[in-house]
Amino acid sequence: MTVYAFTDGASRGNPGEAGIGIILKDERGIILKRLSGFLGKATNNIAEYSALLACLKVAGETGCSRLVVHSDSELMVRQLKGEYRVKDATLKKYFEKAHNLLQSAPFTFQIKHVPREQNREADQLANLGIDSKRPLSAVVFDHEDRAGGNQLP
C-alpha cells in the first residue's frame, strides 16, 4: 500500500514558538492519521525536519510499502534529494536522523515539493500544534532541540 503524507512545520518567529502538522492518506485519499504537536522554541527549518521525522516514525505503523511525502519546504526537499548541501550544523543532525530512519524503514520513500496552497491542511495542523501547546507523544517523536537548550535528536 502507498501512503501519501503531507507535512509542515511552522515557527512564529525564527526562532520562535513552533509546531508540526502531519496528514497521512491512503491511495483512495482516506485520512489514516492527522497529527499536530508543539515543539517549543525552534526555527522554521527545524520545525520542517521535525515534522518529517515524526511522519517517518508514524508511517511505519501504517504497514505501508511506499511513502510519498509532500512538503512545502523547498530547502528540506532539495537537501533530502541531494540537490542542496546541508550547511547548518544543527540541520545536519536532523538530516542525518532522517537519513538513518530511512535506511531502516520498511517502506520505499519519495519526497516531493508542493506549493503552500497544496499543503494547507498540514499548515493548519502545525499552527494548531503551536496554539494547543501540546507536544506529540514521545513515542511518536522525541523532539529534543530547543533553541537555547541545543539538545539534538
Helix (H, G, I), strand (E, B) or coil at 46: helix
Asked, for residue 43, whether it belongs to a domain, the answer is yes
Asked, for residue 13, whether it belongs to a domain, the answer is yes
What mean pLDDT do residues 102-131 have?
Answer: 96
Asked, for residue 74, whether it belongs to a domain, the answer is yes
126: exposed, middle or buried (Cβ count in 10 Å: 0-12, 13-18, 19+): buried
* Residue of 137 and 89 predicted with greater confidence: 89
Query: Where does residue 3 fall: left (phi above 0), alpha (psi -120 to 50 degrees), or beta otherwise?
Result: beta
Number of domains in the chain: 1
- CA of 84: how far to CAs of 65, 78, 81, 96, 136, in Å? 27, 5, 8, 14, 29
C-alpha cell, 70:
509532500
CATH code of the domain covering residue 48: 3.30.420.10
Asked, for residue 85, whether it belongs to a domain, the answer is yes
Asked, for residue 142, whether it belongs to a domain, the answer is no
Strand ordering across the sheet containing 66-71: 31-42, 16-25, 2-13, 66-71, 108-113
Asked, for residue 79, whether it belongs to a domain, the answer is yes
CA distance 96 to 68: 19
pTM over 0.85: yes
Asked, for residue 88, whether it belongs to a domain, the answer is yes
147 — pLDDT class (breaks 50, 70, 90): very low
Note down the domain range covering 19: 2-132
In sequence order, which residues have a C-beta less than 8 Å from that of residue 92 and are 6 or more positions away? 86
DSSP characters for 85-130?
A: ---SHHHHHHHHHHHHHHHT-SSEEEEEE--GGGGHHHHHHHHHHH
Interval 117-129: pLDDT, tens: 999 999 999 999 9
pLDDT at 69 over 90: yes
Asked, for residue 14, whether it belongs to a domain, the answer is yes
Q: What is the pLDDT of residue 151?
A: 33
30: exposed, middle or buried (Cβ count in 10 Å: 0-12, 13-18, 19+): exposed
pLDDT at 143 over 70: no
